[in-house]
Structure 1
């Protein structure tokens, strides 16, 4: 007698007391999942997993008719201790599963390759654990998935190219792993709105049509990506958050970018070059262009930015008077202009800068007219050597 037949006989014994008859394959899958995972000290998530009762009443198990449609492993309350162990491949037997999540904990080992058999899966969230190995290439074949969150793990290898062609994918969050290789093309992912790949070891360049115009949130920081992105960025007109910091991107920053509905623009610590020339007044809350190779005059269109970091570039000329007006009116909270080649700013030495505002001017081609507190990494030298300024 096989295992499924044995389970069927056992199940008949409980038919009078169990309210819902769970599919035998789902019942066996839950048993295997339970055997492979354990509560860490302080967790009692599995206390309700008594297989003499209805599994549809287990914590984290949600059923429709005789099938498990959602499985949320671990206590979802903030600060709960989570689970330990490995994810069992038998999860693929939950053929109707649409939602699979694991709370932060100490689960280790690889993601089961069998996840690619869950044809009804819409949400996959296994973040903040110790999952290692590669991302199963078969995930890209799941045509109904909308969200994949595998962040804060120890995943390595490349991002399967097939993920970039998933027709329903809306959110892809793979940040804080050890992924390498190039960013796959998402040109055909017309539903993708959020792409988070920061804190990995991704390299290579981004093609001018590699990301879809549907993107609203893009974070690629702390990688090794390179090359120009101006042609790509001009097409992402729906962006409200952009972070490309700590890479090796080159070329100009397109003027159109500053008119997008952004709240944060983080381009610091790259190799962007050329002038910064927004066409209209910039309404972005935070703009960080520091530690690049930008040059030319500081645009007065940037004076409406609340937190502006232009330090450690090659900006020249006078600071526009609109910056002084906004600063003294507490309209600017942070204005970092240090380590450039600026020659003046029209501010009185007796001017009182509001306590809510921060200004740093040191190491330019002028004597700072006001003494203000600068960040520690600005150094101690107040003025740039004359020979450096004379070359400009």
Structure 2
């Protein structure tokens, strides 16, 4: 599949009044891993520790965290005539823009008179993330202020809530995770003395030690996370989600994690497998992430440190796809070459796209990011 520009007229007409609608239900399975990273901190825990199920020890990444990567990647790729609604955008004064101000910016509104019949559709044609994930529209209204008069008009033309067609479940690791104690605390050093002119290294070190303080830094050693998602074709009509948007999403999962997990604590995360099963209308199996497990050829869970220590058992996935084969239109797949798969304890000697195609006889689309 070639790279899909969401602003292309093929799939989205130039005037945005006509587009190719989503006809089929899709279900997504996404694997990513984290090595020496904090993929999703828990703000309610001491020092923002990585999220973890207290009962099972499994690592957790919320759907909110994953959607942040997707939105950030959308903002990079979408054209000048489109934008991301749920975003941290600042005014020239450095203040965070309100939701109504973001709506004004995205919809290119200068006065209340600009908002009338057709505004809702125009807004959806422009706010790319709302087409995928929906949104809640709640604005603070002060009729004495002209800016708020615009907000009131926007509020009158948008629903209170719009359910998104793309629903993502939180991700969990297929094993318990361990915290890397080597990162638990770091010392940040601020020099408070001028070094003398002696050129003495020991003296330089002593000067730099002054003013040091401890920083908590909690990371897991390794975690392989599985997510599932559903794209509902009926909700897609409500948000004006296009078929080209769905094809764009095939790339956003991969690029979002690869490009946007780039802060100090988030580095070390990589996409490993993206699979979208496109079914007939109104049908899907559900919870594809739960059809996978760690393979018998994996190292012990307490010894996992990287992708090279892991094999993924696809036995349950193959059984599920075989059961649904008559309802499957196409399986769209992108696989990292470093991901090792097995079925019934036997390591596969071919890629998942080739294996599904040969074993199940269904149509397989090999996603290409950089054509």
The TM-score with structure 2 as length reference comes to 0.24
TM-score by length of 1: 0.23
Q: Which has the higher contact order (CA 8 A, sep 6+)?
A: 2
> Could you say which structure has the larger radius of gyration?
1
Choose between structure 1 and 2: higher helix proportion: 2
